[in-house]
Each structure stands twice: as C-alpha cells, then as structure tokens.
Homo-oligomer: A and B are copies of this chain.
C-alpha cells in the first residue's frame, strides 16, 4: 500500500470546467485529493501517467441494478410492462445470491473500464453486492428493492423490514465506500400501508430512500387513480421526499411536482437510454434543472440500456435533452458532464465528483490520443459528444488505482466474464423451464 499517489503530466478538468495543466496528488490511505498543481510527482510514492490525457472526476452512475448485466440482450425491443412481466420478473424470480455475485462483478468490471467510480444499486442479495463492491474497490450506495404487490401482509412487511435491516447492516462497509438506502421499488409497487408503517422507522434510523418515480405514464395513472394525486405529491405525503432521497427517471413530471422535488431537495436520476429503449419517454431535464431540481445521471440496468458506459449516457442526456426541450441550447455539454459527476455525487451523498483538495480521490483518466477526439477545440464537448468508455486509461477510486493502462487490477477479467456467462445461461434456462 502506498501512502500518496500522483496523477502526472496530464491536464485536469476543474470544477469550473477549465482545463489546466496540473498533477493531482492524492492521499491514498484517506482516499482524498491533497493538491492540484504542477509538478507534484516528486511528492508521491506512486505515480500514474496522464500524458496526452485529461483527468476528470470519476463518473457516478446514480441508478443501476448492477447484476442485471446477466440479462443484457435477453429481451429487447419491448414496452416496459411486457418486458418486465414476460421476461425480467420471471428471470429475477430465479435469481440466486451467486447470480448476483457474478452479475455485479461483471458490472463492476464494466464500470471500472468506462471510468465510473461510484454507483447506486437497487437489487437483491445485497450482501453479495457489498462483497463485489468491496473487492472491486468501487464506491456505492446500495439497497434491497422492496416490492409488496402480490405478497401477503407478512411477506410484504418482511420485505420492507429486510430493506431497512440490510441498510443498517452494511452502511459503512468496505472501509466506508459502501453506504446504503432503503429502496422501495416504486410508489405503485409498494402498498400505502407499508409505506405508512416503515417510512417513520427508516427516517428514525437516518437512512436515505431511493425509488423509481414517474417512469411511465401507465404507472402514473395507477397512482393517480388510487390516491387521487400525482405520484410526487403521494410520495411527499408519505414522507418519502427529502434531500437525502434520490429518485430514478422522473420522465413524466409536471411543474407542480418539480416544485415539490426542488423544495425537498430530492434529486432525480435521469436515465435517458433506458427511457428511450423502453419508450418510457424523454424526461424534461432542462425543465427540472431550471426548476432547481438536482439532477444526476444513471444507466439503469444493462437489460434496458444495454451497457453501463456513462459516456453513452452523457451523449444521450445532452441529445435527448435537446429534443425534450425542443431547444438545441438545452442540456449543454457542461450541464451533462456536471450531472454525471458533481450531480451524481451529491445525489448519492458522496463528497466527490470534483477535482479539488479535500474531495474524494475518485478519478478517471481519459486518453485523448484518438482520432475521434481530434482536433481539440473543446475538451468538455469531446467528453460528452465524442468520447466513449473505452477512452478511459486509468480509473482511481478512494485513492486506489482500480485500472491502470486499461488493465483492471481487482479482478481476473476473463474469469469474471466466464462466470457471468455460466450464471446467465443457467438463470434464463431456469426461467424458461
């Protein structure tokens, strides 16, 4: 273990989106950035070469179901409801802890390769997720997804209780890189009485909430019919919204709902690719931002994306954001990149997403030595519109190098891929029996 690491001889993207020639000195034990300045190599125990490269904050994938990598390409080109009911839920019903272990490791490799250093994970078998995060060296906010529809009261209560127990058990795991949340799947998939029973207990325990909100119009109607209010008001009435809460999607969110989200400080995690692929719609991202709602970026699961490369998401967010706003100046490159870094870190409650002294030492080093990143008129534009995950050379999280020169250090990558392939095949075979 080295005490200090310096990322040297490259350029650095500052929180103000300036590009400066500087080294980044990191306290590897504390996982913190110490200094951003020229010529820091001599002060470090270990260096990471960033020649011809741009050092950027590690990207934050603020909504994911990591182990769904096992279902990548399993069912495409279907509307969300049919896709869930006919393909995804039957497969997930067969999911074992070992499947989650295999799928989350595959996700971790993919995220490290594409410069993602932190993610939110809503899934099952959270102990396995935590172990994969620990082994990978990533940072994550994890939780057990609660669904009560179709369950009797006891099973429903057990499910919500498990989400809280898991959140309390694993918070602070992996040297503090793992934080937790209680994750009710969505307002319409968890019964009101269970929210009423558990929300006060979760609040008392000081645990954040993460759930799906306003993903499709179909779901909107269900809530509106039952409760007579929009889902955001319904969630607010239940006490679900606060500045530690982050919600996924927000595709169909009206102006009053935006005002509520902004007042509560609740972040919306925009998942443009998943929303497009499942035809959920185009989230009004620029409107959300203009209304003061914090916005982060997420890939969602690999079954509806179909990759975990946030560089794809950056491009999608900027492009689809323009179409949604009917304005080509909307969701500009800096805005998009901010959503994937500082915006994501804030949503997940991590002191990261920016390169300056005191922030978490979570970094991605992007190789600029590439035809598609030539010429260099504007590097932020390149990050959003032209770069792809494979341009990332090195990934650093919590002061530790997770990938060096495109070599993922924590895992035997081919073993991870082989294991995932085996588990994926067995999983769908069981589901289709």
| In the complex, chain B residues whose CB is within 8 Å of the CB of A318 | 77, 277
Shortest A274–chain B CB gap in Å is: 9
- Tell me if B381 and A306 are in contact (CB < 8 A): yes
Contact segment of A131-139, A219-227, A418-426 = A418-426
Shortest A251–chain B CB gap in Å is: 11
Q: A323-B279, A328-B278, A372-B110 are in contact. Are A76 and B386 (CB under 8 A)?
A: no
Q: Pick from B106, B305, B375: contact of A424, CB below 8 A.
A: B375
CA distance A397 to B414 in the complex (A): 31
- Tell me if B106 and A323 are in contact (CB < 8 A): no
Chain A 372-389 interface mask (CB, 8 Å, partner B; 1/0): 101111110110011011
**Chain A stretch 315-336: residues in CB contact (< 8 A) with chain B:** 315-316, 318-320, 322-323, 325-330, 332-333
Q: Pick from B83, B327, B416: contact of A371, CB below 8 A.
A: B416
Shortest A299–chain B CB gap in Å is: 11
- Tell me if B378 and A76 are in contact (CB < 8 A): yes
Shortest A10–chain B CB gap in Å is: 17
- Tell me if B333 and A377 are in contact (CB < 8 A): no
- Tell me if A72 and B388 are in contact (CB < 8 A): no
- Tell me if A323 and B386 are in contact (CB < 8 A): no
- Tell me if B76 and A333 are in contact (CB < 8 A): yes
Identical chains in the assembly: 2
**Chain A stretch 110-133: residues in CB contact (< 8 A) with chain B:** 110, 113-114
Please give me the residue from chain B that is nearest to A76 by CB atom.
B381
Q: Pick from B73, B74, B109, B375: contact of A386, CB below 8 A.
A: B73
- Tell me if B113 and A309 are in contact (CB < 8 A): no
Please give me the residue from chain B that is nearest to A416 by CB atom.
B371
- Tell me if A328 and B417 are in contact (CB < 8 A): no
Chain A 54-88 interface mask (CB, 8 Å, partner B; 1/0): 00000000000000011111101111100100000
Does A282 touch B at the CB level, under 8 Å?
yes
The 10 sampled A-B contact pairs (Cβ below 8 Å) are A72-B381, A73-B378, A74-B378, A80-B328, A278-B328, A279-B326, A305-B386, A308-B372, A377-B424, A390-B391
